[in-house]
A = this chain, B = another copy of it.
């Protein structure tokens, strides 16, 4: 079991200890579950009252937080500081370094040093894998695939032909990268499949959720840029581009050729039609359906999505509508009576 003094942890996160900095921390836990010997955190001042009940030996909190009798590790960004401490205590066991005997590896492959290739992995021809990359059991890399250094591909991830993946990319179980784009040309009663001869490019520091699907481009490439985080069960169609550091929450669907800027946030279950552009820092509320291009910093909600404030006002109004309809009916009657009276 790993152990650190609170002083060591404070140095690690560049924080300040209020209280006993010699106390020994052997783990981290949530504010309600923490036990003596553990460190917890208060990221949201809303939960400040819970500090009274926690059994943790110390709490990471913002610089203005002091609680009599409680040891506090004050940090400028308590959430980030906590995350850094959690990293110290994390004991993830990945497959051991080496290539498991059951792997099938094609010709002209280049596998970097210190890679861990688990059981039942299939690696095609002309594949390149960077140093220290980890492939969990059942991963499939098609011909011509490139995976960078320090990547983790969890069980049964499938990377299809010619897809290129950068460094420090994490792909959760069951994700499929480079599946066929959904393109058919009408041909009388039936349809003709448009071969999808493009590929997918995933830049550095991207994280991709479990059972995500990212289609290869019809022509050219589907592109996920640096630092993008994609949650589980997201669908990304052919030729989509997602800009740096954007956050795509679970079950979002992005239709073909749509371009998303940097630092965009798409909340859960959002849908985007094809061939539109979202500017940088756009935020789209959960379950919204975006049907038009929008400039940077727009905040959208609704299906079809409109300006978030407008949407909110209309939703509040909608609940008053049944009564308003009655009022209208009554007004009609009253106006009619007035009209009769006035001889109109």
Contacts and interface: CB of A to CB of B under 8 A. Distances in A.
A186 to B, nearest CB: 7
A179 B322 contact: no
Contacts of A232: 176, 179, 182, 213, 215, 235, 237
B342 A33 contact: no
Nearest to A215: B232
A331 B137 CA distance: 70
Given A80-B186, A268-B271, A286-B273, A122 B122 contact: no
Given A93-B143, A154-B160, A86 B195 contact: yes
A222 interface: no
B185 A77 contact: yes
29 contacts: A28-B197, A30-B220, A33-B219, A33-B220, A77-B187, A80-B186, A80-B187, A90-B195, A122-B138, A122-B155, A138-B156, A155-B158, A155-B160, A156-B156, A170-B180, A172-B179, A172-B180, A172-B213, A174-B176, A180-B209, A190-B227, A191-B245, A209-B213, A211-B211, A213-B233, A233-B233, A250-B253, A271-B286, A324-B324
Interface string A100-142: 1010100000000000001110100100000000001110101
A67 interface: no
Interface residues of A, number: 118
B137 A122 contact: yes
A249 interface: yes
Contacts of A334: 335, 339
Interface string A325-337: 1011001101101
Contacts of A100: 104
Interface of A: 28-30, 33, 77, 79-80, 82-84, 86-87, 89-93, 100, 102, 104, 118-120, 122, 125, 136-138, 140, 142-144, 154-156, 158, 160-161, 170, 172-174, 176, 179-180, 182-187, 189-195, 197, 205, 207, 209-211, 213, 215, 218-220, 227, 229, 231-233, 235, 237, 245, 247, 249-251, 253, 255, 268-269, 271, 273, 286-287, 289, 303-304, 306, 310, 313-322, 324-325, 327-328, 331-332, 334-335, 337-339, 341-342, 344
Please list the 6 inter-chain residue pairs (A to B) with the smallest Cβ-Cβ separation, ordered nearest first.
A122-B137, A173-B176, A155-B158, A179-B210, A104-B119, A176-B210
A190 B314 CA distance: 35
Given A173-B179, A286-B289, A328-B328, A192 B160 contact: no
Contacts of A339: 334, 338
A33 B211 CA distance: 31
A191 B244 CA distance: 11
A318 B320 CA distance: 11
B271 A271 contact: no
B138 A91 contact: no
Given A211-B213, A338-B335, A176 B182 contact: no
Contacts of A142: 93, 155
